[in-house]
Structure 1
Amino acid sequence: MDFNYEECTPRAQRGGQLYQLRVADLHPTQSGVGLDEVDTRAAAMRKKSRQELTAYLITHPVPIVIGNGNKFYLTDHHHLARALWDVAQGKNEAGIDAGNARVAVEVLYNWSVLKDYDFWKAMHDNAWVYLFDHTGGGPVRPDALPKHVKDLHNDPYRGLAWYVRTHFGYDKMAADFAEFQWAQFFRMRMILDNRVLRNQIDDTDILISRMSDEDRQAIIAEAVHLASSPEAAGLPGYVGRGS
């Protein structure tokens, strides 16, 4: 697909204009995503015509920073990028594939002069890298981050945080790593599948969307209740209903 934008190169500068870039060239700045959210987004994208998908992606540009060997690091919209990559692996109404799947990007900074420690220090100072893995452990080394959006791991608690927000358990806020903060909050208080306790499954294999309706609704209701409790006060978007 083509947005009729200039292709992003390592020489691209911050300036407000949009570029286009292959999804395969994006480098993640976090280890995990909620695959429940990714799958929902991908299902919606598969039904869009090429014109509809192009319009959607233009209105949801991916912010990037260029640096550390002239790579393109996405600082947000990891779920969108992973969903688009998944769509490109199979049949879809827009007719995109892995070779031509592109996103519109906005260059936040061109830090191509920064490498290794200097680059990652600047990214960390600006809260543009999340150095905790998909199980909440860390900090991890930057070279442990996935090199491609297809390698982002499932964090079911990040998926749960998305479900809770869509059920009005908290408000969306422009706070650093807000939904990861909620994911960690739930991780410390909930077991999503008792098979974990029976040593039958790793929690990273859990998809809430594939549970029975009864189990899924029970988990979401419990999490929404926790989100409104005094324990959650101070988390971004806390609304406190029912506290």
Structure 2
Amino acid sequence: MSSGVRHPLLSIAPSKLRPTQMTVGKAEVAEKRADWEKLGKKKRKELLAAHWFPGVLGPKQQVFIVDHHHLGLALLEEGVKDVPVMIQRDFSWLEPDTFWRTMEFNRWAHPYDEHGQRQTYDSIPRSLNGLADDPYRTLAARVRMAGGYSKDATPYSEFLWAEFYRRRMKLKGERVTVKQLQDALMLAHSHETAYLPGWSGQIQ
């Protein structure tokens, strides 16, 4: 039994990484793939060196990543052979149920599906390519990038924004229209979103 970190930096194939959430914004993944395809060999190495994946060792020594799911899926789809993973904690000695409860307690797991409904830990995909698309997660990211709210250290903060928009707006498909983004930005600067992480205040 050990709770120490034996191998703080590992090199692992994206296909071997275990996700700790159930969804991503597939439009964001597509954008990351497009960005990757524009890079030369040197720039790709630099990007990977600067974007190591934070991970946790889980049961059977499997590596669970706790951030960068969009980038991980993009690199998997691009056929990247391995990525750097920085191990944060070693929970490999825990039983699966205790492991997941501990992960969620530390806010390192988000077992909610593309409809915002909580699911069992067993429902979390075993591979990044099993992540479902949540267009509201894409909308939340678009709003942040457009200055609707600030990047926040709160874990899964964009999922909280996604849940707000899920209750207020109707999206069709994974594309976010200009009108939808404008409406979402107006809401981001309203009193209704004052409870969300990164809220930047009302527009006078």
Aligned to 1:200: none
Q: TM-score, normalised by structure 1?
A: 0.79
Give the Cα–Cα distance (whole angstroms) in 1 for the partners of residues 179 and 126 of structure 2. 36
Structure 1 position 227 matched with structure 2 position 194: no
* The one of 169, 174, 187 aligned to 1:190: 169
Give the Cα–Cα distance (whole angstroms) in 1 for the partners of residues 104 and 90 of structure 2. 16
Structure 1 position 176 matched with structure 2 position 176: no
Q: Equivalent residues in 2 for 1:30-109 (5 A)?
A: 30-88=21-79, 96=80, 100=81, 102-109=82-89
CA deviations on 1:78-103 (whole Å, 9 max, x unpaired) are 01101111222xxxxxxx4xxx2x11
Deviates more, 1:68-77 or 1:14-23: 14-23
TM-aligned CA deviation for residue 18 of structure 1: 2.6
Q: CA RMSD in A?
A: 1.8
Q: Which has the higher contact order (CA 8 A, sep 6+)?
A: 2
TM-aligned CA deviation for residue 242 of structure 1: 1.5
Structure 1 position 119 matched with structure 2 position 129: no
Structure 1 position 159 matched with structure 2 position 138: yes
Q: Given residue 51 of structure 1, which amino acid in structure 2 is its aligned partner? A: K
Pick closer, same or farther for the CA change 1:82–1:185 going to 2, 3 Å.
same
Aligned to 2:13: 22
Give the Cα–Cα distance (whole angstroms) in 2 for the partners of residues 175 and 87 of structure 1. 29
Q: Given residue 147 of structure 1, which amino acid in structure 2 is its aligned partner? A: R
Unmatched runs of 5 consecutive residues or more in structure 1: 1-10, 89-95, 194-205, 210-215
Give the Cα–Cα distance (whole angstroms) in 1 for the partners of residues 159 and 90 of structure 2. 26
CA deviations on 1:107-141 (whole Å, 9 max, x unpaired) are 00111111212111111110000011121111x11
The DSSP-based 3-state class of the residue aligned with 1:172 is coil
Q: Given residue 63 of structure 2, which amino acid in structure 1 is its aligned partner? A: F
Q: Is the 1:14–1:110 Cα contact (8 Å) retained in structure 2? A: yes
TM-aligned CA deviation for residue 69 of structure 1: 2.1
TM-aligned CA deviation for residue 222 of structure 1: 0.4
Aligned to 2:203: 242
Q: Is the 1:169–1:224 Cα contact (8 Å) retained in structure 2? A: yes
Give the Cα–Cα distance (whole angstroms) in 1 for the partners of residues 8 and 112 of structure 2. 32
Q: Equivalent residues in 2 for 1:179-218 (5 A)?
A: 179-193=158-172, 206-208=173-175, 216-218=177-179
Q: TM-score, normalised by structure 2?
A: 0.94
The DSSP-based 3-state class of the residue aligned with 1:69 is helix
Number of residue pairs matched by the alignment: 203
Q: Is the 1:21–1:105 Cα contact (8 Å) retained in structure 2? A: yes
Give the Cα–Cα distance (whole angstroms) in 1 for the partners of residues 44 and 6 of structure 2. 25
TM-aligned CA deviation for residue 16 of structure 1: 8.9
Q: Is the 2:8–2:88 Cα contact (8 Å) retained in structure 1? A: no
Q: Is the 1:14–1:107 Cα contact (8 Å) retained in structure 2? A: yes
Unmatched runs of 5 consecutive residues or more in structure 2: none
The DSSP-based 3-state class of the residue aligned with 1:160 is helix
